[in-house]
Structure 1
Amino acid sequence: MGFKYVFIPASPNDDMQEMEYETDITELEKDSFRSFVEKFFAAAGQSADREILLQQLKERTGVDLQEKADKGEMANDMLDKLLSTSSVEIFPVQLPTKETCFQGVSVYLDDKGVAKNLEENIRVSSLVQACGYPGQTIRGDCFIGRVFDDTQDEWRRMDFTLKDCSTDAEWIHVTKMQRANRKSGDLQSMANSIGVNNPARIDPSMLADSAPKGETADYSWKQSEDEVEVTFKKEGLQKGDKKYVKVAFGRKRLRVEVKDQVIIDSSLAGNTTADECTWTLSDGVLQVTLAKADEGTWPELLEA
């Protein structure tokens, strides 16, 4: 039977399109829709600003690739190939929780939208802002899709239609409430963790280093309100080695294998929204981003 999704062009003069994916997708590990979206953005072919891309990669990975190339530690043609590779960014708008009947909604967009100076997608930006993300802007053509994820046994793609693209849609109201409750709950949780009774009086400097983080011989990890970032640094690993990297996301499990070496295969200390978890690869660095499904901070990365 398949499922419906919506394509929203960046230009407001182009019509939004309700489209149908012909086959059902009921396993996250076999999500061909995501591959379809990646191919779409790869085929778009817009040129990107090199300096902006280099800065973005440095911010994400902590590695100055241009400096490595200048020192001869990385081939220039390899750097050029890395910067020209297109991928997809997933912006999780609605998280699948009990309050949302375990339904999640995500926007799929070109991950180099800023570097390519793509036109702001006013219609998608308006939807996202109406959901409780003030000031958030989305660039370029976008896809919007919905999944069901009960965080236990069932995961599947569901219909998302043109009717859902109204700022008056019920899912947007629910998401706005979810965002408000999530922020409040996380703030209270962090307040409790550092012994502050009145979260309204928390100073940002008090919270800067309060969330647990850590480092081992194989990786380092840190967390924000919504995500956990795990960074693996491995000499000799290059962007072109993507085929040697295997990352499997479970609701409460992470497995990472690089060149037949299993680095992590363990239960996590918290639940994740597996559909929104991602990984990126650059020379020497593999970064895994875990989307939190539950409120609050993780005491550790892995379950004891």
Structure 2
Amino acid sequence: MPGFSYVAIPPGSEDMRQVYFPFPVSQLNDLDFIRALRGELGKEAFAIEGLRSKLLEELATSSTTRSCGVAKANGEKEKVRENLQKIDDEHLELLMSMEAFQVEMLRDPSKDVGRKGVFLYHEGRADGPVNDRAMNLCLAAGFPPKELRGTCFLSRTEEFVERDSVDPIWRRCDFTLKDCSNDAEWLKDARRDREESGLKQKEDAEWFSSLEDCQAPMAEGKSDLYAWKQTEEEVDIVFDPGPFAGIRATKKDIAVKFSRRSLFVRLRGRILCPDVELAAEVDPENSFWTFDRDRMELQVTLSKTPAGTMWRSLLKVS
């Protein structure tokens, strides 16, 4: 039986990668796939017996302050200890591996209606570069804004019924780079389903309500060539000074062109922005650029239209 493809989406401008996993995977052996994701992130393999001993030691030394009393608390600890001893090595490794990931179900699988599921895996990091492309895919699927950082992975599943069985189980199937396009059919279907069920409106309202008590930070990002941030009115892009300092650049060496949905930047014969498509519209008449020769710093300021639009990324996800 053949394997399947999944997609790795790095933060920044590094190319998205379609990865082929050469073996079939279902919910019965999903640890094989999770190990592959750990390997992609450079995570070391677990030493299971050492991990089990550590968990038992932590359980033995942990303090419990329950109103139900010491005897009952100790009894609960003993049940946990017994269950921990019963878990086999693979299930324990899968449990601990999944603590390293957060999983977003962008679409749930259903054999009854022939619907395949789509799942996004990320580390749930509070630091590291923002993953604009993964965030935009979630938005296109009808989810409220959520900050994602670091490399994200997308995988698809489908339900099937094994021979001599009644209840369906799932297996992983192909998810490709083509499926990462903002006009992919599964994205349109996921958004429509969430809108028709009322779930999108409900979660959007909850997200906007959460902003009343806590101002959500506006998205920003960084690549090898530039960093960008935004206000309610503008998007500022500051280019790395290295290329400019290397040729002792002046304003005459720089060409910047704006349109409503694109930006082009050239430094002599080097293209820094190859007519890239922006995530939203800007006002070219009120956009401008400056070059500080002392610091060799080129700053491009894009005027948002309309003002107040929150960009989730600088560039449109293709």
Q: Is the structural similarity TM-score above 0.5? A: no
Largest Rg, 1 or 2: 2
| Range into which the TM-score falls when normalised by the shorter chain | 0.3 to 0.5
TM-score calculated relative to the size of structure 1? 0.43
